[in-house]
Structure 1
Amino acid sequence: MELLSFLADGILLSLQPLNLALIIIGVTVGLFIGAMPGLGAVNGVAILLPITFLVPPGSAIIFLSAIYYGAMYGGAISSVTLGIPGASTAVATTFDGRPLALKGRASLALVTAALSSFVGGTVATVLLTLFTPILATTALSFGPPEIFALMLLAFATFVGLGGDDIPKTIFSICLGLVLAAVGFDTISGEPRLVLFEIEGFMRGIGFIVLAIGVYGIGEMLWTMEQTRGEVTTTNPKMTAKGLISDSKEAARRGWRGTMIGSAIGFFVGILPAAGATPGSLMSYGVAKMLSKKPEEYGNGSVDGVSAPESANNSASTGAMLPMLTLGIPGSPTTAILLGGMVIWGLVPGPRLFIEETEFVWGLIGSFYISNIVAVVINLACIPLFVWMLRMPFTILAPLIFVLSIIGGYAASRSIHDLWLIVVFGIAAFVMRKFDYPLAPAVLAIVLGPIAEPTLRQSLLLSSGDPMIFFTRPIAGPITVIAIILILLPALKYLRRKRSVA
């Protein structure tokens, strides 16, 4: 009962006129920040952080959290309408959201994204409210071996993303891992894979650069080549009756992916330094593995939209838990929020719930309100987003190219990265021509920077003994499951080759 009393007080606090206004403004701003390629929640929160010094600390973090929520919702907009991920967290949404849009079902994709985001965020907020102390302890027990085992499991779920051609899938994963290794070695500090000693490669290859190149430039080139320039854009019509119909269809066809994404996203989100991007990619892979019709994924599956969208919103809420209870940011955005809390004189950690009760529960209460505000604004704006698809391709193609260049430059402010976007776009086009899957490479460049240091740290802890991944109580079962999932497609592939022979 005491918990419910605290929660009620927090919700009432977030409904105060100033806080409610900040939530509405923050969610709206975040929605459009998330939709702009190259910006995303991290940049949005960082840019608007100085503004928050004009309001009390509690209201400030509510505002920044609302931007965070809005950006998670907004990432799906450009993924569906333009085929360019608004942020790294929305890359998996592109896999099926864009094909749905090309079939004239953009409204269904956007409604599915909005509703699954709402469910994912709400489920995560309820879990955060009920199990904060227990989950904080669980997250703290995850060391390098456990995190590497989890990354291995993510790779295992994605082996099937390349279809039945396992060798091409493995090649795609290895290519992504190579790209992820460019830059300075995280342990020795030595530069590696720096092509011709070009200074730009010293910083490594940013994920958003790869994503924009592959799904912006590459997709545009592929569409132009397949249609020889004679592209007929969809002319979707959006009505209130259609919105209700799409909502029912999204609930009926996307509930399985939503449940999977909500659970996996929150679990990955509470792990320090994991974040929403691995959670959304893992959820997509698991949803495809458990689907009765895996062949639909990549061709316009509703579950393929609901799984990553529910996961990235669930993970964004889960990432708040280690920040508040342990003082450890669960994602890049929460790292900025953590810095803001320190500036405001608030000390994250176990005693925060005791010494700053009003602040903590006001923030948790704002999550519920932000979720409701975000889904209402998102659904209300869907006709506007769908209208974008009525533009002729002769206008849309240059727009995609310009947004890709602007988004790439906004992310790093580097001309070197603009050249990389063009190169990756051409490379993605060539890979598609030869039927090489792109999704595993994207997964690898996301998870590579997390998997490599945790692997090396684990082996340093065990003096080089790989059994550390099997003997630890949490890492062991995860590693065994990952190995089984990796071997199953390989055995299926070998059996098929033998039957053909």
Structure 2
Amino acid sequence: MEMLALLSSGFATSLTPLNLMVVVLGVTAGLFIGAMPGLGSVNGVAIVLPLTFIVPPNSAIILLAAIYYGAMYGGAISSILLGIPGASTAVATTFDGRPMAQQGKAGLALIAAAVASFVGGTISVVLFTLFAAPLADLALAFGPAEEFALVLLAFTTFVGLGGDDVLKTIVMICLGLVLATVGLDLVTGQPRLIFGDLPGFYSGISFLVLAIGVYGIGEILYTLETSKTAPQVTPARLTFREVGAGIGAMRRLWKTMGFGSILGFFVGMLPAAGATPASLMAYGMAKQSSKDPKSFGKGNIEGVAAPETANNAASTGSLLPMLTLGIPGSPTTALLLGGMVMWGLVPGPMLFIEQPDFVWGLISSLYTANVAAVLINIALIPVFVWALRMPFTVLCSLVIVLCIVGGFAPSQKMHDVWLIAGFGVAGYLLRKADYPLAPLVLALVLGPLMETSFRQTLIAEQGNVLAFVQRPLSGSFMLIALVFFLLPLIKYVRTNRRRTIAPAE
């Protein structure tokens, strides 16, 4: 009953005219951002983040969450109409969505993606509501040692569960931790890594500057180089009869959508996992359990529904550890975490006690964002088809201008603009060399928390390093972190053993 009372008070916050307008604007912007190849939720949130200073902090976070939600919906649009995923989270949707469009079923595929996204979002938000408060209560037992162990666990999951090269992932985490130390020392106040006593570095490197640089400028440079020719848009027209037929077809897929939603939510809670592996896992499970697995990849509507439910559920699941533990479950939630810190909102269990109006207002806004996203998505499909015909060079110019303005506006220092340019070139080069960018942003956001909790623990325990493994919770996290860190080594040994056994047979 208490949870229902808190949720109802949250709806009183999220349904105010300002927040309702913010949700509609955020979802609409997110849909266009997600539909544009080369953008996606991470880039969209990074670009829009500086503009949120014009609204109160609570409304700003609701806006960014709505953009995140809308972008997850929008990624399927370009996957189906262009055959190019709007973001990596919509890669699996391309497998059957594009063949459906080529068969003249683009409208049905878009309806299927929208309905599946709505189902995945609804189930995951309900699960979010049920799990948020208990997880926050558990987190109240955390001290500095537990915080350090939890951050270490977040980094090792990137190493152990991430699909990227292990060594490159470790390098990017270390680089992010180094960048997090730039500025004044937290304890002594001494300047560190200020690069020849440059005044701009005394305040450290803002995660916003890094995110806009590597995800905004860097991504645009990379996309300009790799996109040789403009893809053709498959036309899509929707009638009320097609909408009804699409919703009717989705009723037969309730098992696929239910399983994809639950799988996506719990995979999304894991740092370094997120929506992309969740959607691919759901697609694979749907194919294995299907009565006609050979039709997958040739235009099976189930192959659209499964990944779309999973990636939307995972986007909600990744918000849960961010709010309750202060640990982001995806690159986008890492940006949201940094934004909350900028506005003086400290994620973690105390947030539920000190700022209940904000927390439950945000949770309730996910319900309204989900409903708004499916309605706006279906209504604006003709507009998306028109917008995707925009020359990509025009889109790139708009994004670069927004990046420069967005980087300059918060601090009004040219130092940050030059840093954005530098990080943009660096992000482009790292992307060309196949270095993952998500661990870099995550390390910059979590680096100060990791350093503070580490030093606080050592001061409290008088230098006893074993304190991290002697406490039950922190010791458990450290053990799990060690397992995740050793996973790539175990996989490597197994692969080599199979190679040596194969010739002998």
Do both proteins adopt the same fold according to a TM-score greater than 0.5, normalized to the shorter chain? yes
State the secondary structure of the residue aligned to 2:408. Answer: helix
State the secondary structure of the residue aligned to 1:195. Answer: coil
1:415 is the counterpart of 2:414: yes
1:439 is the counterpart of 2:438: yes
**Cα RMSD, aligned residues only:** 5.1
Q: Which residue of 2 aligns with 1:70?
A: 66
How far apart are 1:485 and its partner, in Å?
A: 0.7
1:49 is the counterpart of 2:56: yes
How far apart are 1:159 and its partner, in Å?
A: 1.1
Output aligned runs, 1:51-450, within 5 Å: 67=63, 69-74=65-70, 76=72, 94-97=87-90, 116-128=120-132, 132=133, 134-160=134-160, 163=163, 165-227=165-227, 230-240=228-238, 241=242, 244=246, 258-259=261-262, 262-263=265-266, 281=272, 283=274, 287=278, 302=307, 305-306=311-312, 308-314=314-320, 368-369=367-368, 371-373=370-372, 375-377=374-376, 380-381=379-380, 384-385=383-384, 387-450=386-449
Q: 1:124 to 1:433 in 2, by over 3 A?
A: closer
Q: 1:182–1:194: 8 Å Cα contact kept in structure 2?
A: yes
Q: Give per-residue Cα distances to partners, 1:25-58, cap 9 Å, x unaligned.
A: 23123436766654657863x53239xxxxxxxx
Q: 1:397 to 1:292 in 2, by over 3 A?
A: closer
Distance (whole Å) between structure 2 residues aligned to residue 221 and residue 175 of structure 1: 22
Farther-moved stretch of structure 1 (480-489 vs 71-80)? 71-80
1:26 is the counterpart of 2:22: yes
Distance (whole Å) between structure 2 residues aligned to residue 364 and residue 331 of structure 1: 15
Distance (whole Å) between structure 1 residues aligned to residue 154 and residue 176 of structure 2: 14
Q: 1:260–1:287: 8 Å Cα contact kept in structure 2?
A: yes
Distance (whole Å) between structure 1 residues aligned to residue 115 and residue 411 of structure 2: 32
How far apart are 1:157 and its partner, in Å?
A: 1.5
Q: 1:124–1:318: 8 Å Cα contact kept in structure 2?
A: no
Q: 1:414 to 1:264 in 2, by over 3 A?
A: farther
Q: Give per-residue Cα distances to partners, 1:405-460, cap 9 Å, x unaligned.
A: 23323454332222222211211222233333333323322322222222222222
Unaligned runs of 5+ in 2: 34-43, 79-85, 99-108, 286-303, 327-335, 346-350, 501-505
TM-score (norm 2): 0.66
Q: 2:50–2:406: 8 Å Cα contact kept in structure 1?
A: no
Q: Which residue of 1 aligns with 2:465?
A: 466
Q: Give per-residue Cα distances to partners, 1:85-127, cap 9 Å, x unaligned.
A: xxxxxxxx95434897899869688877665444433322244
Q: Which residue of 2 aligns with 1:55?
A: none
Aligned-pair identity (%): 36
Q: 1:208–1:411: 8 Å Cα contact kept in structure 2?
A: no
Q: 1:409–1:415: 8 Å Cα contact kept in structure 2?
A: yes
TM-score (norm 1): 0.66
Farther-moved stretch of structure 1 (66-75 vs 457-466)? 66-75
Distance (whole Å) between structure 1 residues aligned to residue 75 and residue 12 of structure 2: 31
Q: Give per-residue Cα distances to partners, 1:162-196, cap 9 Å, x unaligned.
A: 64633222222211221222122222222211112
Q: Which residue of 2 aligns with 1:271?
A: none
How far apart are 1:484 and its partner, in Å?
A: 0.6
Distance (whole Å) between structure 2 residues aligned to residue 474 and residue 282 of structure 1: 22
Farther-moved stretch of structure 1 (424-433 vs 408-417)? 408-417
Task: State how many pairs are aligned.
Answer: 433
Q: 1:389 to 1:178 in 2, by over 3 A?
A: farther
Q: 1:436 to 1:335 in 2, by over 3 A?
A: closer
Amino acid in the other structure paired with 2:466: M
How far apart are 1:481 and its partner, in Å?
A: 0.8
How far apart are 1:374 and its partner, in Å?
A: 5.1
Q: 2:221–2:428: 8 Å Cα contact kept in structure 1?
A: yes
Distance (whole Å) between structure 2 residues aligned to residue 220 and residue 135 of structure 1: 38
Q: 1:390 to 1:263 in 2, by over 3 A?
A: same
How far apart are 1:9 and its partner, in Å?
A: 6.8
State the secondary structure of the residue aligned to 2:472. Answer: coil
Q: 1:423 to 1:115 in 2, by over 3 A?
A: farther
Distance (whole Å) between structure 1 residues aligned to residue 431 and residue 366 of structure 2: 41
Amino acid in the other structure paired with 1:231: T
State the secondary structure of the residue aligned to 2:56. Answer: helix
Farther-moved stretch of structure 1 (458-467 vs 300-309)? 300-309
Amino acid in the other structure paired with 2:452: P
Distance (whole Å) between structure 2 residues aligned to residue 193 and residue 101 of structure 1: 45
Distance (whole Å) between structure 2 residues aligned to residue 119 and residue 171 of structure 1: 37
Q: 1:222 to 1:187 in 2, by over 3 A?
A: same
Amino acid in the other structure paired with 2:492: Y
Distance (whole Å) between structure 2 residues aligned to residue 145 and residue 499 of structure 1: 40
